[in-house]
Structure 1
Amino acid sequence: MLGFFSNYPLCLFGTVLSGKVTSPVPKLQEGYGIGDDEFSLAYDGCRRLIWYNARNEAQSRQSWHPGDVLGCLLDLNKPEVIFYINGAPLSPCTRIFNTAR
């Protein structure tokens, strides 16, 4: 596998999105952030949604909690991005590779 994996312990207050970007993030404003354009992908563990290009995809896992660990795998061979909560994978994301070439 050619790619990248990272883990983040979560200490949560309110709605938090975590993800990856493929280009510099424009100046962020209220209501606009990671997952809202074609160059970023985000997981919203409070609402259980994966965001890409301002569209979301529901996930069946329960909401995350303080102390949970968020993982993110970028697999360039498949190509796909998979978010993990406490080691359990969410649905693979492939849409970002259609525009981020």
Structure 2
Amino acid sequence: MTFSPAEAVLFVALVVTSGCVVLMYRKLNELSTVGRHYRLALHDSAAALGEARDAVALLNNDSRELISALCTRIGEAEALVARLDRARAEAAAVLPTSVNKDPRG
């Protein structure tokens, strides 16, 4: 069996085309794998963002409760300081003036 030059050219073209198809197939498989990993990463990111949103909401709620408790305690402390100031003023009015001197200056 003899090959003509045209058949040889067509055979070489077929081999080159087959090689290109194989390379393209491998690249498509690689791209598919990368796409799968990308989808998984996006899914994980979305889940992490959801958890972060829940944590921030919980933190905001806890902060509100803490601020409310602190305001209550500050009010109680201010009332106690006022009572102590009144008691000190009353005690100072009762004590003689020589004992009434402030040691702080």
TM-score over 0.5 (shorter chain): no
Query: 1 or 2 for the larger relative contact order (CA 8 Å, sep ≥6)?
Result: 1
Structure whose residues are more often strand by fraction: 1
What TM-score comes out, normalization by structure 2 length?
Answer: 0.13
The higher radius of gyration belongs to 2
